[in-house]
Structure 1
């Protein structure tokens, strides 16, 4: 991957970890935390969001430790504690006292835990297709976390992620497959969620009492036809977080920010505007 790739941002040291981070635009800060698909990077996850949201905001999108072009420290134990600390380390490294926070899927669990543990660091919270509450492991998530690199496996995963199959081209499958086999990518990914995988769903969940105590104004977004993270998780979050609203997109899988990018950007931008 060349240094002028759009997936490469700036290098910062966050919590002692050399971190690949996109920092674009001006205005009040928004931290975007990506999902956990194989070969994912912040740019791959947020590429349709960064240019739009950064028109009015300072948008920060790091590769979380274990993913993308961020350092993979030897002997690291991946888990929610380390990922929350890394996200806070990004804010500290950039001198950001308080931010709006957007988490996608796995990143939603991190965002939720960060808001619980460091409430003063978060202004508003957006959770999209979020992990972070108890649910039964879906076949789709089991397949994603259990991915073994092959073009066929990646194509099958993309079919699970997207409701609109026209988005899943041979070119995209090849691109994401190649991303998943970059040096170090699969090694760290396979170390995060080994079978049996229900335990990692449970480990990413915050306590119900802690979620119910959240005071932040929260926007919850989900694709009705999501086969990776069930819609019930967002219904639960909407019940437990008092000051929350839920927006469900029909004809949409796990990729709201890609399948309905214009509506997603408008919805999030409006929610964060006041």
Structure 2
């Protein structure tokens, strides 16, 4: 029997609301210790609970895990007058940690969230202690892949959810009816907000999430890049390898037999990598 993706990979839990510069942010918190901010990716139906539930539970014994639904996702609305974008997500992440009273924290980001994590580390070098960028966007010159374009365009239907999930993972046995049904429900719940986030031409949103060489050079925290060897949305060659030329203190770990979501496709190895790096 195939194990499938965990049910929480596409569902929401209530969390608590934190006011950030006059806008509500839904936050899921657990654990105690040095703070870790966890930023999810950009697929339709993505939420903090869905992206990070298993990882947060694994870290809770040693860290305070802060996992927000970013603006336009889950139960966090876009701030008034905003249509999303890197500046909105970066400013909101920084404002959230300020509101929570955290002055020193690690940042873990997946895909879009990886670009936001890198941008936050560049903007707050005195506060960000570690960066983990997973299947990350943000590399200079990275193009919009056909698979990422298709994911951003996926309709909130069972067929759209199935196609999206097939593109996210390398092991197609994980694309179970249960996983597709959960993703469909999450996509439908967030359809109205998501429809405003990445309208075509979508290459401009990749450009928006791209950091300049100067921004990357401003990052002082150690960076761990974790990437699936078979990532179709943000391919290793164009997304992770170019970052090695720009980051001062960086290491790259490539997971074989893994697609765009290492935290969900290879959770045990990902959690071990993350815990070890954060313990440095």
Q: Per the shorter chain, which TM-score range? A: over 0.9
Map 1:231-250 → 2, pairs under 5 A: 231-232=236-237, 233-250=239-256
Number of the residue aligned with 1:79: 85
Where does residue 102 of structure 2 map in the other structure?
Answer: 96
Question: Is this contact kept in 1: 2:73–2:194, CA < 8 A?
Answer: yes
What's the counterpart of residue 125 of structure 2? 119
CA contact (8 A) 1:34 1:103 kept: yes
Q: What does residue 226 of structure 1 align with?
A: 231
Distance across 2 between alignment mates of 1:238 and 1:54: 30
Structure 1: runs of 5 or more not aligned: none
CA deviation vs aligned residue, 1:105-135 (integer Å, no higher than 9, x gap)? 0001111111111211201111100011131
Q: Aligned-pair RMSD on alpha carbons?
A: 1.3
1:27 to 24, 33, 56: 33
Deviation at 1:78, TM superposition (A): 1.2
Which of 162, 165, 184 aligns to 1:177? It is 184
In the TM superposition, what is the alpha-carbon distance from 1:160 to its structure 2 partner?
0.5
Offset at residue 92 of structure 1 (A): 1.2
Normalising to structure 2: TM-score of the pair?
A: 0.92
Structure 2, gaps ≥5 residues long: 1-10
| Shift, 1:187, TM fit | 2.0
Partner of 2:159: 152
**Residues 1-274 of structure 1: matches in 2 within 5 Å?**
7-133=13-139, 134-182=141-189, 185-232=190-237, 233-274=239-280
Q: 1:92 to 1:177 in 2, by over 3 A?
A: same
Number of aligned residue pairs: 268
Structure of higher RCO (CA pairs closer than 8 Å, 6+ residues apart) = 2
Instruction: Describe the SS at the equivalent of 1:48.
Output: helix
TM-score (norm 1): 0.94
